[in-house]
Amino acid sequence: MLQTFAHLSDLHLGAGPAAAHAARRLCSALLAVRVQRVMVTGDVTHRGLRSELDLFRSAFAPLFDQGRMLVVPGNHDRLGDDVAESLMSGTRVQAEEHGGLFVVRFDSTGPHNRRLFDSHGQMEEDDMDAICSALDRAPSGALRLLLLHHHLLPLPDDHLFERVITQLGWPNAAELSRGREMVDRLQSRCDLVLHGHRHQPAEIEAGSLRVFNGGCSTGLQACRVFAAVHGELVHAPRWLDVRPRSFADAPALFAVQ
């Protein structure tokens, strides 16, 4: 049976009215194309405020009501009121089956993310063991996904400030410190890794693994949509572009590739 799912990330609701408008358009478009699941990889809110969480739930209410949303928190969600627990309650690693999809969610945030400038993720040995153990329970023929916010492999910094702090040796904008080791352990266990944190979309092939950074979905006003049958993608992910028609020929905030 055909399984379709979309990948959203870094909505930063609360950063301004444009983000909220883009989120509502994304929801309408996803409903129109009848996507079965929507994976959201963190930084749902901009300042971790309860009011921003309410805005997220309101913008995507039809998808929540139909049980189509799967979410992990990001570092921005740990700020302010710390809404991470409301986005993903319980253990740091959780696995669930959705039709032909076997989805492992990992909360890659840590207590240090309560501070604005400590945005790097946390992944310990126990987390890695739990992720691998969960993936090993995937049923035969399922497409195996890992969702987390922080990136496992190096990616370009989003702006000058991040380049400067990276050159100073600070971990704020860096990939997870054991990300490469995790990628090695995911070989033959996992098919797709979906993450966010970096605001420009990216795709990396790492052995048998394909790693997708969703970018800032509200800034892009677009998201990737995937389709799978019997545990395999049936085509390359396609972009769903929700920019208003009058701006369709104008460059997006970040180029969609």
126 CB contacts (<8 Å, ≥6 apart)? none
Any domain includes 257: no
How does DSSP assign 63-131, residue by residue? HHHTT-EEEE--GGGGSTT--HHHHS-S-SEEEEEETTEEEEEE----GGGGSTT-------HHHHHHH
Any domain includes 213: yes
Residue whose structure tokens are 């992990």: 72
E strand spans, 124-221:
143-147, 192-195, 202-206, 209-213
**pLDDT score of 257:** 39
Using CA atoms, how far apart are residues 71 and 8, in angstroms rounded to an integer? 9
With a cut of 50, say whether residue 155 has pLDDT above it: yes
Say which residue, 1 or 53, is predicted with more confidence.
Answer: 53
Using CA atoms, how far apart are residues 214 and 9, in angstroms rounded to an integer? 6
Query: What's the mean pLDDT when you consider all of the chain?
Result: 92
Any domain includes 89: yes
Any domain includes 150: yes
The parent domain of residue 188 ranges over 3-247
Phi-psi region of 99 (alpha: psi -120 to 50; beta: other; left: phi over 0): left
Percent of all residues in the chain with a pLDDT value above 70, rounded to a whole number: 90
**pLDDT score of 252:** 45
Any domain includes 256: no
Say which residue, 126 or 247, is predicted with more confidence.
Answer: 126
Helix (H) or strand (E) holding 17: helix 17-32
Any domain includes 156: yes
We report the CATH number of the domain holding residue 108 as 3.60.21.10
Residue whose structure tokens are 């039809």: 62
Using CA atoms, how far apart are residues 6 and 192, in angstroms rounded to an integer? 13
**pLDDT score of 196:** 98
- In eight-state DSSP terms, residue 208 is T
3-class secondary structure, 220: helix
Q: Please tell me the total count of domains within the chain.
A: 1
Any domain includes 253: no
Any domain includes 17: yes
Instruction: Tell me how long the chain is.
Output: 257
**pLDDT score of 157:** 74
pLDDT, mean of residues 121-141: 98
Residue whose structure tokens are 């076997």: 102
Using CA atoms, how far apart are residues 150 and 176, in angstroms rounded to an integer? 7
